[in-house]
Amino acid sequence: MPQGRDAGAGGRASKALGELRRIYKGTAESGPLFAGTTQTLELGDYEKYALEHAGDPPRGQRIFFDDGGVACAKCHAIAGRGGAVGPDLTLIGGQFPRRDLIEHVLNPSKVVREGYRQFVVETREGETFSGLVKGETAETLTLLDSEGRLQSIPKNRVAARAPSNLSLMPEGLAFGLTLEQFADLIGYLESRRADPRAPALETPPAPPAPPAESVALVDGREQGRELPEGATGVRGLARDSAEPQRAEFQVGAAATVINPPLGTPLAGYYSERGSEAVLDDIHAKAAVMSDGKTRVALVVCDLLTLPRRTVLETRKLIEQQTGIPGGNVMISATHQHTGPVVARESSRDDLDGGSGELGRAYSTELPELIARSVADAAARLTPGRVWFARGSEQRLAFNRRYWMKDGTVGWNPGKSNPDTLRPVGPTDPEVGVIYFDSTNATPLLTYVNFAMHPDTTGGKRISADYPGALSRALAGYQGPDMVTLFANGACGNLNHLNVNWSARQQGTNEANRLGAILAGSVFKAYMDLKPVSDTTLRVRSELVALPLPRITDDDVAEAKAVLKRMKTANFMELVKTFKVLDVAGRAGKPWEVEVQVVALGKDLAWVSLPGEIFVELGLNIKAVSPFAQTQIAELANGSIGYIPNRSAYAEGNYEVVSARCAEGSGEMLVAAAVRMLEELHGEAEHERSRKQ
């Protein structure tokens, strides 16, 4: 080879090396690429060194945020700084031990965190896209690629889509670092246990010891009693070991679209309705609160109901992804009737499509969608303030059970029916409003609690019904970034139908009217907001065994006969049939349901109840609650259907015929809720007096 050509190649190599030095100046300049002697390293060398050396977290911080090096912050955020392609790592040190952190960096594809598995999409034109699924409608699939770019692909162009076993995080990143630098990076990640908005390397205080009055738990049991699955403390605080004590209150909110594929059956009626279009998106919406030692998630889904199994699966995912204990998560459904059916292992699954392929597929996917909303909310935790007010709306909800002239109780007796006398029971006009903003007054979240069935939109289009209209109205005032959570109160016997008004109260316009009126009540309540001074979070839950209603062998035989002639059976025959089959399937075993209470200081409390609760029961809880304002969230943490008050059982009609629990069950739930409310309020008062 001529010497001149060799010199030219050497010159080009020297020039290229100089360019590499310029690009990687700093972090990687001292790495093996520029070393005077070559040292061949393997992944095991990095693992061994990082396990034996703590590293320097401040130096690791510089490596993390250096775009010219391994560029971790290109995809991951810490304390609001960085990208959003990969998981937020703000509190990663509290979620994984050091050995696991090392494993995640060295072998990113070994375990891909739920919600961050990439998909590969091939189009009919032969193009290939890969990334995280960030959105999907009936027309468009949106991917977030490794560069942080959103790619919107028309679904009519998609030929195939499949999950990939490879992480978006590239393999071999460690080879751009020296052993010392790798240990520094791991040291920095391990140090991330502090307040998400605190200085990056502030030393976190030690987690507090359990209070003296807490109940000791041994092998998941409390005084011989089994804890609810997914709960970490029955009648005691559910401690969050992943988060250190902090003085300031924080809140984060997020919403995830949970639209099903078109064709998925819609829930709510005693027949199968395949969804044909999306009128407006349905969501899982989450609020995460932290007082520094306890974190709590409040979640509301635009769904008819949430089976207990779905709740437990979702809580497990949330705990895995965020460190928030499952027992500190309250998940409820708005009860709209234009959302997908969720398989509930009930006899009705065969009737409304829950047991079909599309129904089962959506039910399998749903826990991850809900968990994603909580993970996003947790990643957005920011110092905040809490305000509360109580509004009133007398014009929307009506008790749908009426005394008739013949002495019977009618259910939705029709408009202008001359045989209608008066409502059997009351309504609950209270509009509970809890407003969260940042310390610089940026709107973050409004939690609205009102009792009224959402069954106005109808048809075969997916819609959030009037809670969706409410959310849009509040966002129009507070800004599109504010999240509205609407939790339905005790409305088992309430709906929007005014029997004395001849107007047709059905369809999209009616949903918008109801949402607008309710939004007006919230706007008025905004003017009366009072601050919450004590933001200490406390959580309790109890399992309550509810007795089954009495059924006979003749009832079961009759139900089986109705199944054979379903097309000719009337509505009430269907209602009774599926109730009897579900109760018979229990083989005498009582329902085991959860009642949960979340308390914020001594002002606010949230109560979860596991079904469609009669309004009288919710009013009883509110009447004796020692808290300044108590929110009732029905259809929460599971559902067994209608739960009437005691007197309704003698009156009969639809809700009682449908009820899968015996007379007195509702009052048992009230007793459990009131007991926990009194205990938690007593603890708050005791703590306040102790500090004085």
Q: Burial-class residue 213 by CB neighbours within 10 Å (0-12, 13-18, 19+).
A: exposed
pLDDT of residue 432: 98
Q: How far apart are CA 623 and CA 228, in angstroms?
A: 27
Q: Could you give the 3-state DSSP secondary structure of residue 220?
A: coil
How is domain 20-109+171-191 classified at the CATH fold level?
A: Cytochrome Bc1 Complex; Chain D, domain 2 (1.10.760)
pLDDT beyond 90 at 356? no
* Segments of the chain assigned to CATH 1.10.760.10: 20-109+171-191
Which tens digit of pLDDT belongs to each residue from 90-144? 778 867 788 988 988 888 877 665 456 677 888 888 888 888 776 666 677 777 7
d(CA 571, CA 549): 20
Question: What would the pLDDT profile of 205-231 be if each residue is shown by its tens digit?
Answer: 333 333 333 333 222 333 333 334 444
Tokens of 142: 């949106």
How far apart CA 433 and CA 304 sit, in angstroms, is 22
d(CA 402, CA 418): 12
pLDDT score at 161: 82
**Strand 295-301 with 283-290, pairing:** antiparallel
Least confident of 163-172, 280-289, 332-341, 582-591: 163-172
Confidence tier at 653 by pLDDT (50, 70, 90): very high
Q: What is the C-alpha to C-alpha distance for residues 84 and 578, in angstroms, rounded to an integer?
A: 47
For the chain, the average pLDDT equals 85
* Class of residue 254 by CB neighbours under 10 A (exposed 0-12, middle 13-18, buried 19+): buried
- Tell me what the mean pLDDT of segment 393-399 comes to: 96
Backbone angles phi, psi at 493, to 5 degrees: -120, 25
* Cα 288 to the center of its chain, rounded Å: 9
Percent of the chain's residues with pLDDT above 90: 62
Q: Residues of CATH 2.30.30.100 domain(s) within the chain?
A: 119-163
% of residues, the chain, pLDDT over 70: 83
Task: Please report, to the nearest 10 degrees, the dihedral formed by the alpha carbons of residues 580, 583, 588, 593 taken in order.
Answer: -160
Give the model confidence (pLDDT) of 142-176 as tens digits.
777 766 677 788 888 888 888 776 776 777 777 88
Mean pLDDT of 546-551: 97
Res 433: pLDDT = 99
The answer to whether residues 490 and 451 touch, using CB atoms and an 8 Å cutoff, is yes
- Please tell me the distance from the alpha carbon of residue 125 to that of residue 153, in angstroms, as a whole number: 12
Residue with tokens 């738990």: 217
pLDDT tens for 468-490 read: 999 999 999 999 999 999 999 99
Q: How confident is the model at residue 137, as a pLDDT?
A: 67
Average pLDDT over residues 438-447: 96
pLDDT at residue 241 greater than cutoff 80: no
d(CA 401, CA 409): 6
Residue 242 scores a pLDDT above 60: no
Query: Distance between CA atoms of 271 and 577, rounded to whole angstroms?
Result: 14
| Residue 612 to residues 207, 439, 491, 663, Cα–Cα distance (Å) | 39, 37, 7, 15
Extract the tokens encoding 670.
């009230």
Average pLDDT over residues 491-500: 97
Q: Taking a C-beta distance cutoff of 8 angstroms, is the pair 433, 474 a contact?
A: no
**Fold for domain 119-163?**
SH3 type barrels. (2.30.30)
Per-residue pLDDT reduced to its tens digit, 13-67: 455 445 444 544 444 444 444 444 445 688 888 999 999 999 998 898 889 888 7
- Short-list 445, 391, 288, 397, CA closest to 629: 391
pLDDT tens digits for 77-94?
A: 787 677 767 777 877 886
